[in-house]
Amino acid sequence: MNFLNTAATFVNAAIIQGIPLLYGATGEIITEKSGNLNLGIPGIMYVGGISGIIGAYLYEHSVETPAAFWCIVIPFFASLLGSALMALIYSFLTITLRANQNVTGLALTTFGIGVGNFFGGSLLSFFNESGSIAVITTGGYYKTKLPFADSLGLFGETFLSFGFLAYLAVIIAIVASWYLNHTRTGLNLRAVGENPATADAAGINVIRHKYLSTVIGGMIAGLGGLYFVMDYTCGAWTNNGFGDRGWLAIAIVIFALWRPRSAILSSFIFGGLYIICVYIPGLSSAAKELIKMLPYFVTIVVLVVTSLRKKREYQPPASLGLSYFREER
């Protein structure tokens, strides 16, 4: 029974860790399906988080008693707006101005982390307050569990004790998977990422698809940041608190072979690997660090194995990283 409890806590914690990764991975998959390798995702996730915090802070401080509805809605849309603007910068530079995707993405990450940490650290000083920023009321609303979760015993505690953003992540991943595989525009989008020249010849607006998928992908990824600051840390911001999770999300994209549905389980596995060292008894602190290496190591193995097997379905979108210019052949 004790073991079962520990296992349940572990699974629960793995899911909590996995949710931001899932948002990031789903967003990046949608982006990459259009042929854009957006290495700015880690930065976008920071911005998604801080935008939510700013929205919440401004709202909490403008009314006497914050209402639950607005506490949820304002940060949510603030977060979407922030990450959409970030993704737009990337899109404009890489799609319209055809800049190098790697360089632009890395610059965006630098910028995004800077924006996150700057506002996270300085927002209060603009209002002549001190200390670190925390929007606990909003965080509390974001953390609200399903009402019947507690009545379902261990199962409820393990799988149903999350705030709504956790479920939304899974839903978005499933919808993304359905969109990519079973809709007309999803098919067109995949064609853009595989072979933009062919897509163009078939009358698909390549530029529009690239813009839309990059911006929507960025917005989804940004929600991962929002989940982290609102749910995971209860509305408190710590600089660099989000850590390298953005890169882990990019690793998941590879691990899940560019499939949003596989990304769900992959994210939870990676979330688990991220914290498993805490749950293995008797580990030295050094061994814990070694175990934290696992997600990256596994990703490399997947990358190598897929390139060895050369199975076409498992490869990255064929035009990934290349900008499209119709007159260039």
Partner 1 sequence: MSKQKAVKEPFIHITKKRNDMIWWKAWLIRGAAVLLALIVCAFIIVLLTGYNPIEVYKKMIEGSFATKRKVWALLQGIAMLLCISLAVTPAFKMKFWNLGAQGQVLVGALACAACMFYFKSTLPSGLLIVVMLFAAIVAGMVWALIPAFFKAHWNTNESLFTLMMNYIAIQLVSFAVASWVTSGSGVLGLLNADTNCGWLPAVFEQKYFINVATVALLTVIMYVYLKYTKHGYEIAVVGGSENTARYIGINVKSVILRTLAFSGAMCGLAGFLLVSGTHHTVTETLEGGMGFTAIMVSWLAKFNPIVMVLTSFLIVFLQRGSSEIATAFRLNESVADILTGVILFFIIGCEFFIRYEVHFRKKHKEGEE
Partner 2 sequence: MATAAIELKNISKRFGSIQANKGVNLSVNKGEILSLLGENGSGKTTLMNMISGIYYPDEGQIFIDGEEVVIRSPKDAFRYNIGMIHQHFKLVDLFSAAENIVLGLKEEGKFDMKKVCARVAEISERYGFDIDPNKKIYEMSVSEKQTVEIIKVLYRGANILILDEPTAVLTPQETQKLFTILRRMRDDGKAIIIITHKLHEVLSLSDRVSVLRKGEFIGTVKTAETNESELTEMMVGKKVTLDIKRTDPVDPVDRLVVGSIDVINHDGVKVLDDVCFTARSGEILGIAGIAGSGQRELLECIAGLQKVQRGKVLYNNPQTGEEENLRDKTPLQIRQLGVRLSFVPEDRLGMGLVSDMDIIDNMMLRSYRKGATAFVERKDPKNLADTIIHDLEVVTPSATTPVRQLSGGNVQKVLVGREIAAAPTVLMVAYPVRGLDINSSYMIYNMLNEQKKKGVAVIFVGEDLDVLIELCDRILVIGSGKVAGIVEARDADKNEIGLLMTKSDSLQEGGAADE
Binding map of partner 1 across residues 88-107, x = CB under 8 A, - = no contact: -x--xx--xxxxx-xxx-xx
314 sits near partner 1 (criterion: CB under 8 A) = no
Residue type, 70: W
- Applying CB under 8 A, what is the total number of residues that bind partner 1? 61
Structure-token pair, residue 131: 């200390």
| Contact call for residues 272 and 14 (beta carbons, < 8 A) | yes
SS3 12: helix
User: Rounded CA gap, 46 and 114, in Å?
Assistant: 9
Number of H helices, E strands in the chain: 14, 0
306 sits near partner 2 (criterion: CB under 8 A) = no
- Applying CB under 8 A, what is the total number of residues that bind partner 2? 19
Min CB(182)–partner 2 separation in Å: 7
139 binding partner (options partner 2, partner 1, none; Cβ < 5 to 8 Å by kind)? none
Q: Which of 115, 149, 152, 197 binds partner 2 (CB under 8 A)?
A: 197
Q: What is the DSSP letter of 258?
A: T
Q: Is the dihedral of CA 265, 186, 112, 62 positive or negative?
A: negative
Q: Which of 113, 101, 112 is nearest to 239 (CA)?
A: 113
Measured from the CB atom, the residue of 129 and 289 that comes closer to partner 1 is: 289
- Say what the alpha-carbon torsion angle 200, 89, 20, 74 is, to the nearest 10 degrees: -110
Q: Which of 5, 62, 132, 239 binds partner 1 (CB under 8 A)?
A: 239
Min CB(206)–partner 2 separation in Å: 10
Measured from the CB atom, the residue of 190 and 210 that comes closer to partner 2 is: 190
Which H/E stretch holds residue 315? Answer: none
Rg (CA), the chain: 20
Sites of contact with partner 1 (CB under 8 A)? 37, 39, 89, 92-93, 96-100, 102-104, 106-118, 120-122, 125-126, 239, 244, 247-248, 250-251, 254, 284-290, 292-293, 295-297, 299-300, 303-304, 307-308, 316, 321, 327-329
Sites of contact with partner 2 (CB under 8 A)? 182-184, 187-188, 190-191, 194-195, 197-199, 201-204, 312-313, 318
